[in-house]
Structure 1
Amino acid sequence: MQHKVLGPAIFVLSGMQLLMVLDGTVAALALPKMRDALSLSESNANWIISSYVLAFGGLMLLGGRLGDTFGRRRMFVIGVLAFTATSLLCGLAQGEAMLIVGRALQGASAAVAAPTAMALVATTFAPGKPRSQAFAIYAAMTGIGSVAGLILGGVLTELSWRLVFLINVPIGLVVGVGALWALAESQGERLSLDVPGAVLGTLGCTLLVLAVNEGPQGWVRPIVVGSFIVGTLALIAFVVVERRARNPILPFTLFDNSNRVAALIAILLSSMIMMCMAVFISLYLQGILKYTPLQSGMAVVPFAFGLGVAAAIASKLSLMVQPRWLVLAGGAVIAAGCMYAWSIATDAPSYFPGIGMPVVVIGFGVGLAVIPLTLSVVAGVGPNEIGPLTAIAQVAQQLGGAVGLVAVGAAVTSRALSKGGTTAPVETMNARQLAAQADGYGLAFASCAALAVLAACVVMFMRFTPEEVAEGQAAQQAADAGVDGEEPEARPVPAANGPSSQKPAPRRGYRPDDPPTEPIPVRPDGPRPRTPNEWSLPAPDGGPFEDEDDERLGVAETGRIFMSTRNRHSR
């Protein structure tokens, strides 16, 4: 069954995406209020954010596998309703432990709903223009939710911090019930779940983050040393399990390309910067400058506009210059904005230029750097590799944000304590302690500048060319549109009883000086059904995939041409 793009199906799927983006934005904005209401220390308050993103990132690949195995609509509905229930738990939390556990469960629910929602977009809408339009609407929810969350979160937090979670309940119920009515079941190839891999990976990351978070209060305490040791062993076991698993949740073959590894590391570092800036700017504005939550949200809105303008520029320039140069430029802009914010952190600055200017500058730098990195992850690959690489990039974003927030938060706490500060709630601090806390927030901004410089150093090892980026964009469009390879209008029409008399159009992303290949015969037995792999999505009608290119290109010939071209580009 095919659906209209502007029908109930896309509103249900994009509604869940909007809900998750809103939740992440308003939670960061409401963090100071939650910290003060529950009398949390600075380090414990960070766990309200970190517990969510750790569970989200660590379990996302498992969530996608659950949808493939048990049915995407079924798991999407379960994920949405679980997200709704855990939002209610967070909104009613009476203490620190209940709120942090609720946030972790909320992140685990999002890890099931998010990947199944993306897969349902791909399988619900017809290949070609309808599917591309559906993906565009789905992706637009990220930008809309980010800006709306800053404003809505400020309004809700002014009334009560509990409302930022309780608002999810009616929306989640509408999305969950709507999914049962508007979506058809879709199920991929049944694969083993690799639960040990998911558990070990998430456990290892969580314990290492716990060790870093608790470190400033004593690095040789048993909880710190024990967390470091057990977390490290868990990650080692994760690597061993994944290399032996029949259907690993994280295929290590995707890391064979050193250029792509550099891009993923840079994405992780950039996510650290974005998460730290979102949280610590909010804490600084509300805790030190005494902004209201609404004023704090409005003060950060220019960040989104700076990011949007830079993203539009970077998406065009990525096809003209090597992506690493754009990332270097973006890193320099981020570092400059963060260093300026550090220099004025203890001066009680006015909004402009003290706050507004670095917010816009940092947003512009993030947009200039992140877009080329996102394109580089899928540079020079075919449509079948888009799915797993995109999922790994999303995991890097989530885990990077969690690790960065806790690591920089530990540095903030250590700095404040060294200057005579305290770990008590901000509302109980005297003038001297507030000055020490402001100095700690200044160090957070300086740490973001250092992370930007580190990311710039990493991307020096990234050698992707504009041609490879264009090839990746074409593959992304092909994957979204449901075609494998070139766009439909570029395909020659074979003759009825013999080889095609038309010369095939060159594939987008190929260099014009590519040497010609020998004639390729028509397959006499017609198109060959494609055997789905663990990353394949079924056709919208549930039938098998068929590659129209196989009418004139044998599978071996197609793979040989693609690999030879990619090898020439990577040299």
Structure 2
Amino acid sequence: MVVLDGTVVNLALARIQIELGLTDNLRSWVVTSYALAYGGLLLLGGRLGDTFGRKRVFLTGVGLFTLASLACGLSTTPVILLAARVIQGIGAAIASPTAMALIVVTFAPGKARNQAFSVFAMMTGLGSVLGLVAGGALTEASWRWIFLINVPIGLLILTVGVKVLARTPVFERIRLDVRGAILATGASTLLVFGLAEGGTGYSPIVVGALILGFGILVAFFLSQRRVPNPVLPLHMFAERSRAAVFICLLLVGALMMAMTVQVALFVQEVVGYGPLRAGLAFIPFAFALGAGSWIAGLVVERTAPRFIIATGGLILVAGFVYGSTLGVDTTYFPDLLVPILIIGFGIGVVLIPLTLSVVAGVKPMDVGPLTATSLVSQTLGGPLGLAAVTAFAEYRARSVLGSAFDRIDRAALDDASRAALGTGYTSSLLICAGLAITVVVISLVFVRFTPEQIREGREAEKASTLG
């Protein structure tokens, strides 16, 4: 349910913008408000289960997510929708890490637990693919259904969960770093706001938001040095190679969210696809990503990860540059399908060595915190990347249309508006290409893990799963 939500909303953005009268910047906040709440509170959410009991916290998170989904589906104003999306993100940040912890305590080590984690992984992959089809189909009826569909699913989870989940013991109540979570989320929000509003010009408010965001970010890192149980243990960044991997994951998260949203809007507003056709068009992306991941997994224990990451990054650059040349006369084959396959394959090649490098050469007890931090890096990178490309896309479209940009009728786009919006969407892919080049440089210069350390990391992951 959580993974599917991240896919279906992208396909519904164009319809949501028309019905609620959103500006381009507010439209992007439908995605980023959820991601900021989810990523900013994810580490804190994982600790709530240890402090207050995992079953109770898991069901609370699911309940919040379900109620927020209902509010999203019934919302009539942008304020209600965005507020509900924040609550959705909070619910997901509470439920997701606790769900994984419940697998560990519910299933015995060995075959049973391995099968449970296999089902968990399968549901994650299934959610990504089903989101493309279900999201498109539901949006064809009404964008509200992409949220309302969560309500019966959430109620079913709550009903069954109360009956079958074992109550887990409450661990020693530690002092939660609520201040750190608030500072991290606040800094990310201000930076995203500043970047997103940059498309209309850098006013004093925009500049002030960026400066204040950086200031709060510094305060966050300083606070993590002094608290006994920080949400982000800084010792995980002590090794230069691992710190570089976290930065690369943040950049990959940025280019992935930026690319998926911009391309989804491009095929609907510029090429003229409906939501269902757009969703079906992206299914090859999932298979290409799987193929890239499979190939990278085969060679990662024999080749230094920095070379695999760099190769995947260069493939991404090629895909983004190709995509930046598309326009209103784009056809599905080869114009759209080729970059979709190239970019999907490149992301698969990049993600596997980066993910394994997070736990390279560590002990089993360190796998959990490192994996959670890598997920946070990737999740928070998304809103930052989307804000940057949204601002650039608006800037490029405004440079073509001038003052007529503010009079665009999204419900009935004329040829000039479609061409200008297409220029903005495709040109913004060059920012994604720049992020990919940065990943290539950082990995080649700073990531020094060896294939032997990758093997050790895999063994540590397996040991941590077996408990």
TM-score range, shorter chain: over 0.9
Whether the 8 Å contact between 2:246 and 2:374 is mirrored in structure 1 is yes
Q: Which residue of 1 aligns with 2:185?
A: 202
Q: Which residue of 2 aligns with 1:456?
A: 440
Whether the 8 Å contact between 2:389 and 2:429 is mirrored in structure 1 is no
Q: Which residue of 2 aligns with 1:379?
A: 360
Q: Which residue of 2 aligns with 1:111?
A: 93
Q: Which amino acid aligns with 1:438?
A: G
User: 1:274 aligned to 2:256?
Assistant: yes
Q: Using the alignment, how far apart are the partners of 1:481 and 1:365 within structure 2?
A: 31
Q: TM-score, normalised by structure 1?
A: 0.79
Q: Using the alignment, how far apart are the partners of 2:286 and 2:462 within structure 1?
A: 25
Of the candidates 472, 477, 482, which is equivalent to residue 457 of structure 2? Answer: 472
Of the candidates 164, 185, 201, which is equivalent to residue 218 of structure 1? Answer: 201
User: 1:312 aligned to 2:294?
Assistant: yes
How far off its partner does 1:232 sit? 2.0
Of the candidates 10, 14, 25, which is equivalent to residue 7 of structure 2? Answer: 25
Task: Classify the secondary structure of the residue corresponding to 1:49.
Answer: helix
Q: Which residue of 2 aligns with 1:516?
A: none
Of the candidates 412, 415, 419, which is equivalent to residue 431 of structure 1? Answer: 415
Q: Which residue of 1 aligns with 2:130?
A: 148
Of the candidates 429, 435, 441, which is equivalent to residue 425 of structure 2? Answer: 441
Q: Which residue of 2 aligns with 1:396?
A: 377
Deviations 1:46-93 (A, max 9, x none): 000000000000000111111111111100000001100000000001
How far off its partner does 1:315 sit? 1.0
Q: Which amino acid aligns with 2:19?
A: A
Of the candidates 101, 109, 125, which is equivalent to residue 107 of structure 2? Answer: 125
Q: Using the alignment, how far apart are the partners of 2:259 and 2:354 within structure 1?
A: 19
Whether the 8 Å contact between 1:132 and 1:477 is mirrored in structure 2 is no
Q: Using the alignment, how far apart are the partners of 1:189 and 1:477 within structure 2?
A: 27
Of the candidates 74, 77, 84, which is equivalent to residue 59 of structure 2? Answer: 77
Task: Classify the secondary structure of the residue corresponding to 1:219.
Answer: coil
Q: Which amino acid aligns with 2:132?
A: L
Q: Which amino acid aligns with 1:231?
A: G
Q: Using the alignment, how far apart are the partners of 1:173 and 1:310 within structure 2?
A: 37
Counting matched residue pairs gives 462
How far off its partner does 1:425 sit? 5.0
Deviations 1:289-329 (A, max 9, x none): 11011100000000000001111111121111011111111
Q: Which residue of 2 aligns with 1:541?
A: none
Of the candidates 395, 409, 414, which is equivalent to residue 390 of structure 2? Answer: 409
Of the candidates 265, 271, 278, which is equivalent to residue 283 of structure 1? Answer: 265
Q: Which residue of 2 aligns with 1:253?
A: 235
- Cα root mean square deviation, aligned: 1.2
How far off its partner does 1:228 sit? 1.8
Q: Using the alignment, how far apart are the partners of 2:71 and 2:376 within structure 1?
A: 25
Q: Using the alignment, how far apart are the partners of 2:56 and 2:328 within structure 1?
A: 54
Q: Using the alignment, how far apart are the partners of 1:426 and 1:265 within structure 2?
A: 37
Q: Using the alignment, how far apart are the partners of 2:223 and 2:434 within structure 1?
A: 34
Q: Using the alignment, how far apart are the partners of 1:428 and 1:292 within structure 2?
A: 14
Q: Which residue of 2 aligns with 1:330?
A: 312
Of the candidates 39, 57, 61, which is equivalent to residue 57 of structure 1? Answer: 39
How far off its partner does 1:122 sit? 1.3
Q: Which residue of 2 aligns with 1:3?
A: none
Q: Which residue of 2 aligns with 1:362?
A: 343
Q: TM-score, normalised by structure 2?
A: 0.97
Whether the 8 Å contact between 2:271 and 2:328 is mirrored in structure 1 is no
Q: Which residue of 1 aligns with 2:76?
A: 94
Q: Which amino acid aligns with 1:99?
A: L
Q: Using the alignment, how far apart are the partners of 1:428 and 1:265 within structure 2?
A: 41
Q: Using the alignment, how far apart are the partners of 2:327 and 2:431 within structure 1?
A: 16
How far off its partner does 1:216 sit? 2.0
How far off its partner does 1:347 sit? 4.6
Whether the 8 Å contact between 1:62 and 1:198 is mirrored in structure 2 is yes
Whether the 8 Å contact between 2:266 and 2:425 is mirrored in structure 1 is yes
In structure 2, do the counterparts of structure 1 residues 175 and 66 end up closer, same or farther at CA, with 3 Å as the change threshold? same
Q: Using the alignment, how far apart are the partners of 1:438 and 1:477 within structure 2?
A: 46
Q: Which segment drifts farther, 132-141 or 75-84?
A: 132-141
Q: Using the alignment, how far apart are the partners of 2:199 and 2:331 within structure 1?
A: 32
Task: Classify the secondary structure of the residue corresponding to 2:463.
Answer: helix
Structure 1 unaligned segments of length 5 or more: list them: 1-18, 483-571
The structure with the largest helix share of the pair is 2
Of the candidates 27, 30, 36, which is equivalent to residue 18 of structure 2? Answer: 36
Q: Using the alignment, how far apart are the partners of 1:57 and 1:407 within structure 2?
A: 18
Q: Using the alignment, how far apart are the partners of 1:407 and 1:247 within structure 2?
A: 33
Q: Using the alignment, how far apart are the partners of 2:14 and 2:357 within structure 1?
A: 36
Q: Which amino acid aligns with 1:397?
A: Q
| Higher RCO by CA contacts (8 Å cutoff, separation 6 or greater) | 2
Q: Which residue of 2 aligns with 1:539?
A: none
Deviations 1:152-196 (A, max 9, x none): 111100000000000000000101121111111223342111111
How far off its partner does 1:230 sit? 2.3
How far off its partner does 1:428 sit? 4.6
Deviations 1:255-280 (A, max 9, x none): 10110111111111111121112111
Q: Which amino acid aligns with 2:442?
A: V
Deviations 1:325-355 (A, max 9, x none): 1111111111111111111x22521100001
Deviations 1:441-492 (A, max 9, x none): 111222111111111111111011110000000000000011xxxxxxxxxx
Whether the 8 Å contact between 1:426 and 1:434 is mirrored in structure 2 is no
How far off its partner does 1:237 sit? 1.6
Q: Which residue of 2 aligns with 1:240?
A: 222
Task: Classify the secondary structure of the residue corresponding to 1:419.
Answer: helix
Q: Using the alignment, how far apart are the partners of 2:63 and 2:103 within structure 1?
A: 19
User: 1:184 aligned to 2:169?
Assistant: no
Q: Which amino acid aligns with 1:475?
A: A
How far off its partner does 1:225 sit? 2.6
Q: Using the alignment, how far apart are the partners of 1:197 and 1:347 within structure 2?
A: 46
Q: Which residue of 1 aligns with 2:322?
A: 340
